[in-house]
Chains A and B, each alone.
Chain A
Amino acid sequence: MRKVKLSAVIDHGVLILGSLFMMLPLLMLLQMTTIPDTEIIRTGPSLTVGDQFDDNFNKAMFEASGFSGENTGLSMLKNSFILGIGFAVGKIVIGMMAAYAIVYFRLRFATFAFWLIFTTLLLPLEVRILPSYEVVQWLGMLNTYQGLIIPLIASATATFFFRQFFRSVPEELVEAARIDGAGPVKFFIDILVPLSRTMIAAMFIIMFVYGWNQYLWPTMITTDEDMYTLVRGIKQIVQVLEGAVVPEFGRSNVLALIAVIPPVLVVVFFQSWFVKGLTESDK
């Protein structure tokens, strides 16, 4: 009996240590958003909660910073949402359409299209980052949402995921639909899309987080400060902190916190969908 208890204590001890390892950095950031800059410069993070959060929050969200003065937290938050949602929706819509064409139609060049699309899984955007930048520049899409989002969509993860799922949908469903006189469009919209709801939700969460957290591509493609996303803005924050006489820690900590909160909430609240999507899409 005693032995069982001891091992339970060890199990919980390890898990608590692990949780602390994960949580402490965020708690520190949280504490630092509640104290004034002058205190941070003197003592850094501490264990007392201050009362400056409102002040720091207002500064970060509504007061303009940067060279152009257009760069508020609010505008970065807006851009982050546009990137996250635009990327997720674009990827899912295009992926589902392509997967439907590949799985449900007799096409002579289907195998060729399949290989063209799935080769994109082999190389991440990072290895062709400069030529991609030149292409976007040539198309006049620098500092636009299209230029930010579309090149990121040029990989087949969602197509692959939906292809796997469509293949697991019972064959009888198409046969029944055809007997009842449903055409390909009706079958797709009335049967296949509703059937894929859970898959779409899972994919949306993963893609939203992925899009929101993009850094290298937005760093290259957006130079106008009113196009910055929160995650891209981190770069500016770090550099500003280095140069300033009284670094604006309050402001930058709030911005870092806001960059983290929406994707974290999505992952925590839709945990079961998220885990399902993650473990099934990467296999």
Chain B
Amino acid sequence: MKRAGFDTLSLPVLLLLPQLVIIAVFFYWPTIVALQSSFYLQDPFGFGSTFVGLQNYADLFSSREYRKIAWFTVTFSILVTFFSLAIALVLAVKADKVLRGAKTYRTLLMWVYAVAPPVAGFIAVIMFNQSWGPLTEFFGLFGHTYMVGVNFNDTAFAMILASVWKQVPVNFIFFLSGLQSIPRSVREAAMIDNRSATSRFWDVTFPLLAPTGFFLLIINITYSLFDTFGIVDTVVKGEPGNNPMTLVYKVYVDGFRGNDLGGSSAQSVILMVLVLALTIFQFRLIERRIHYT
């Protein structure tokens, strides 16, 4: 709030009203409903519901299927986060270094940011087409018959590949802007002290990039958990079956298709807790970061 602010009362209330109404109706209300219905068991035909306490949660934690999906989601998130960060970091370091064509490389490496996740999934489905997909043929060279939608690992790999492809640009943009904000004087001092480019990278550049890296780590985990929905849905072609799926996809399948409102709400609440923990962790990092630079 500014020192020399205005004193009118009605105007700021009017200005805040649209935002407050929208979040009340479409944020707080649904969130409360989700919390509440996670303690109830809904009749599948829509005739009322009974309070069951923590039963929905207990059912989830004892369900083998849920544990399997949770485990897959963790593995999936770690792999997507690791590879998209690693590839982006290498590309950003190189793009920061070259002089010729720097702008062209930057454009070529960042445009995929604008591709929607389901389109990325669609492209993966084409590339892994059973009879003529280029990547299916590539794996065929090694004697592996690639089958998306049938073989669990094959499907998972296609999902991970599409998710990494889609996420590299965001990380690239942030790493590049982080690299470019390292002061010239620091770089030049490092150049004088140390002739080896490799050790210069690990001793000087990498620690200076660490705050950006931590920040991106959270962004990428959130991406793998939520934004990959479109990729998962297109790669499994809307047929979950025995295919790998993420926790968010499970919420959708159980709640929207299976009409298991209580169970689906309990899953939503678990995800809420998860994302809340991540966000709080992220805010604390940002606070720390101010002292960093």
Contact = CB atoms under 8 A, between A and B. Distances in A.
17 contacts: A15-B105, A23-B108, A29-B126, A102-B16, A117-B19, A122-B279, A122-B280, A123-B27, A126-B248, A126-B271, A127-B248, A127-B269, A156-B19, A234-B118, A253-B126, A267-B113, A268-B107
B112 A256 contact: no
Contact of B252 (A44, A212, A216, A260): A216
Q: How large is the interface on A (under 10, 10 to 19, 20 to 34, 35 or more residues)?
A: 35 or more
A234 B238 CA distance: 11
The B interface, classified by DSSP as helix, strand, loop or mixed, is helix
A126 B226 contact: yes
B169 interface: yes
B186 interface: no
B187 interface: no
Contacts of A278: 170, 173-174
B91 interface: yes
Interface in B214-249: 215, 219, 222, 226, 229-230, 233-234, 237-238, 248
A135 B234 contact: no
B2 A256 contact: no
A209 B114 contact: yes
Nearest to B264: A130
Interface stretch (A52-60, A63-71, A90-98): A90-98
Interface string A30-71: 001000000011111100000000000000000000000000
Nearest to B16: A101
Interface string A178-206: 10000111010000000000000000000
Interface string B248-286: 100110011000010011001101100110011000001
B123 A25 contact: yes
B34 interface: yes
Interface in A192-238: 209, 212-213, 215-216, 219-220, 231, 234-235, 237-238
A159 B129 CA distance: 44
Given A105-B5, A130-B255, A237 B122 contact: yes
B114 A113 contact: no
A130 B126 contact: no
A70 to B, nearest CB: 21
Nearest to A43: B132
A41 B7 CA distance: 70
B20 A267 contact: no
B119 A132 contact: no
A18 interface: yes
Contacts of B23: 116-117, 120, 154-156
Given A120-B23, A128-B30, A135-B30, A15 B98 contact: yes
Given A14-B94, A178-B4, A131 B37 contact: yes
B182 interface: no
For A45, A127, A215, A264, which residue has the most chain B Cβ atoms within 10 angstroms? A127
Given A237-B122, A268-B107, 12 more contacts: A15-B98, A98-B16, A101-B12, A127-B271, A130-B34, A155-B23, A156-B23, A185-B11, A239-B237, A260-B114, A271-B106, A282-B219
For B2, B18, B25, B133, which residue has the most chain A Cβ atoms within 10 angstroms? B2
